[in-house]
Structure 1
Amino acid sequence: MSPAIGSDEPRPSVDAATSGASLALDLLAASRDEPGRPGAGVRDLLARAGVAGAEAEAVVESVRESQLRGARLRRRANELEALFSTARELVRLQDVDEVLGRLVERAHHLMGTDVTYLSEVENVRGDLRVRHSVGTVTPGFRDLAVPAGVGLASLVAGTREPAWVARYETMTEVGHDDRIDAAVRAEGLVSFLGVPLAVGDEVLGALFACNRFGYDYTPDDVLLLSAFADHAAAVLHTARALAERAAAVVRAEEAYRELERHLAATELASGIHEELTSAAMSGGTVVDLVVTLSQRLGRRVWALDDQARLLDGGGELPSRPVLRDAVGRSQLSGHAELVEAREHRWLVVAIVGADRVLGSIVAEAGSGPDDSVLRRALERAAQVAALVSFKRDAVIALRAERRARWLLAVVDGADDVLSAEVEPSLRAMTPEACAVVDVLERDVADAAFVAAGAVGENGVVARRDHRVIVAWSVTDPVAETERLRRLLADRLHESALTAVVCTGLGGWADLGPAVERATADLRFLHPLGIEAATVPSDSLAPYHALTSGEPTAVIRFVDELLGPILAWDERRGTALFDTLAGFFDDGESRHAVARRLRIHPNTVQQRLDRIRSLLVGDWDDSEFRFRVQAAARLERLRRSLRDAHPAG
């Protein structure tokens, strides 16, 4: 209680009160100074105020604690201001690198360390790379990469806990790496404090504060750096989320554009398919389909047959082997295949039947990326073309089968039975030639089908045994038969096909004997080694009477008579056979033979003497001379046919 008025107790003087207030203000000012020893100044103040001993020490300790508490509060205020500044920048996040750079700078300033840097996880293995640093002096450290499993950074990222070392070279908690150790030595760093940058279960990197001297980091250091690390993690996480969102938006926009393109392509392809189907139903051909396709697509389109030959028109296309290879790939894949040659691009799609390729469609692909609309349109066109081909083939096969039965009936002399089955124009046609093609052991039904399509309205085709029979009404039957033979050889993959043509037919009545003669000629040619050729039957006419039902009879006939001469020429390289053949051709005149062969008449006589000595028989016997002459002509025929039609 305050003394009562009028009390006898002494009242303090005004100077004493003033002195006490001044002391309090001085002590309060001292408590606001930076932490350190209060010094003699505080003790002097206390001594002047008459305070000493234990009471003075208590006041000094209180001032020291007040200084520490004030310093801590000021530091905390600075830290909070820095964190709030970072938070404000995070809200206005524009440039991730700039925000992270400022964050590292603030951490460096508040931590007061020599170096502060941020490492970011850069791949799924967990490798880290320095992204931002402050206080570094070596370029190598500013872009330092730390493989997963080594270094303090891997320890922090792996444990998701703060870690520090007072001296890096003595660290044993995790493995060292020579390259990283060299970078640390070059930078002069000794002590490290690292804290993780983590969001949920994901570690994004680590934030480090380092000194170039040994230092034991305090809990306050860990807490402060962790606060900055949390902000850095938020920045990285937000940046990644924004990047993923932007990528998702781009993907969504691209998907929408792709959907639009797909819908447009589907609409166009459906329209083309409807037009193609309509053309097919109205009796259009594959060429008609290609014309429709070309008009709708606005580019050149071609139709090819099963041998990659143009069905109509012309244009610059890849070579037939390249086209056939692309058709084969399309047959296997079921899709259009791209072909590039001579700086041009084409799309090729096979027209596939039940068991073989019926043809193909080729379209210009342009110079840009492949067009999905074109692919889809071509593939649908190929399906429609296959239906058109099936329909056409069915009609052709039915008509060809009917005509073939009638043709065989004509050959066998029983055509009256089937005459009603064929069109009147066929019966009215006058065949001028016939041809018989030996297809050996190949598919004669397929050969007859191909031949019927090739002959068309110029003749009639049938098959018997392993041969194709054709009754022609053409200007040049030999040339047309050779063209047909080559087509069949290409289709059947058999180059040794042989054909015989009989010309000069006067009508259907002559067909049977002509076919029989051509068939006999084929048997006659085979033992002579003649193949892969078309031979006119007229060239064999003089020897028909010599042929028998046995195919090898002609060869045996020649070898029995002229074998010694032919063997002599082969062993000695002489020309006895040429001399003998010329002797018969020139009316048995030695001088004429000498002029023909450009040798002396005496040489001719010597050769004739050698021939007479080699042949067994009487030269005065006319039958023997006829046989020798016939054998010589047969051998000359064989040689001329071989020269004109070499095998293969």
Structure 2
Amino acid sequence: MRESASDIANVRDGVLVSRAIVRHTRRLLGTDMAYLSLNDLAAGETYIHVTDGVRTEAYRSIRMPLGTGVLGAVAAGGAVVQTADYLSDSDMNHLPDIDEIVREEGVVAIMGAPLRVGGRVIGGLLVADRTATHFPRGAVEALERMAELGAIAVEQSRLVAENAALATQVKSAEGQGEERLKRVEKVLRLDDQMVQSLVAPTGLTGVAGTLSEAVHMAVGIHDARGRLVAGQPLLPRQAFDHWEVRAAVASSTQSGRSVGVRWDRRPYVVVSVTSGDEQIATLVARGPVEQIEAQLLERAATFVGAIMLFERSLIDAYNRAQSALFDDLVSDRSGDRHALTAAAQSYGITATEPSAVLAIATSPSERYQALNTTRAALRDRPAVVSLHGSEVCVILGSPAEPDVVHALSSELVAALRTEGMSPLIGIGHADGSEFIAGAHHQAHRVLAAEVALGWRSGYADAVQLGLAGLLLSGTDRATVDAMLERTIGPLTEYDETHSSELRLTAWTYFECGTHLESTATRLFLHRNTVRQRAERIDALLGPNWRRAPWSADIHLALRVWRLSEAGLVNENPSASVNTA
């Protein structure tokens, strides 16, 4: 990516830059070919502009109606499209003559990402293989990053041409259009400076400084959660939780334009930074701003996104070895078990000592930050930390006895909350590396049960949740609420109306083996008070609530209710379920 950015920075010929983008893309993804298309909206088509690795002239000359094939779908739909076997893929909108060209070229697998400029799709960047290939998530993200650079190159080439044409017009018209020429020159100058920021080591800090100079005002760059990552703290973190600021950011995400908003009676301008459908950052400046300043902020958003995605790619590259090991351990694939065992041992995961798997769920926009925070919190522990789908997953090496794992999970929850996240952690225990796959499945079941229980944040394992909790794995919250309403709904209504504790009394009664004396002792109440509460429960649920088989249903519902309650702590601290 840095090589491509250098090409944009140092070469002014648009075709040469586009060819460099295509060449670097092919090399980065290791594909047989790569090509870039541009849209011809007047004709309703997209056409291949430059190629690398293409053998036939017919393929190099392809023009396709928007919406057809992979090329036309990418150029029209604005989303990544891929197929492992194009000619046999019935989901594709095929054209017979194009299929024949594809067959002659020997193309099998194709993937494309759109070129976007200011919210508009202007073409596509595609790669193709002559063998069946499913492109993994890392390849998809890499192609999207290169497509963003490709869009910058195409747009910069257009602006250079427009600038030259305007200069000619200005000279011939003796001053007419000078203002427009100045605006284009400002955009080109900012592009040059931003491209230099891509190849410089200053990162987002350099971008924020360059942009502030260009628009002559302070600029802040915030991540998707509103945390300041570079520039000036113009808006506080809590402002991004306010509905007006959220609405402005959402509007900018949809339009690709700057949007004004007021906070604390002051005007601001926000510009959303996106990657595909994901909102990854927000630019903030003091408002109101002139049209040229808004245009500069919108242009800068593309570069901010490119830098942030490049930083992600560095994280992915750094984590690749651990991710591969994690996948091998949790998939329980057959293969070189000796090599796998040796690799696991290097992270403290042995075949005979206890280990544990943590499945950590946060919002999708927080997963990279959650990965970094988790890795930092466990830096002195033998562990494998990896992104797995939308979650951060951890395999803890020895020592990993339950009390040790619970303490570490508590520390992780605290560390992630400090960063503004609300993590849920499901824990699975294993007796050695051969049982990691089962522990991973168990951790996911626990996590699913926590979601069904309506937990906002916390951690637990199967023992802490018990049968009542694990039965809910894969159940949605509405189903849980309906079950509670059918069984203990009258108690809930009475407690909420009278500020009483009938549910707590009934739960304690069952937990104490249906002994009134033990119930009174545990609740620090007089025995007569407990008896009176039991009689009230009789009146609300009927006397059969204490007798089998109805007692089993009531006890299960009361256990689910207790698990659902925020801040639940069992009487035995070592068996506490920790929620918030």
TM-score range, shorter chain: 0.3 to 0.5
Q: How does the TM-score come out when normalised to structure 2?
A: 0.45
Judging by fraction of residues, say which structure has more strand: 2
CA radius of gyration, larger in: 1
Higher relative contact order (Cα pairs below 8 Å, separated by 6+ residues): 2
Q: How does the TM-score come out when normalised to structure 1?
A: 0.41
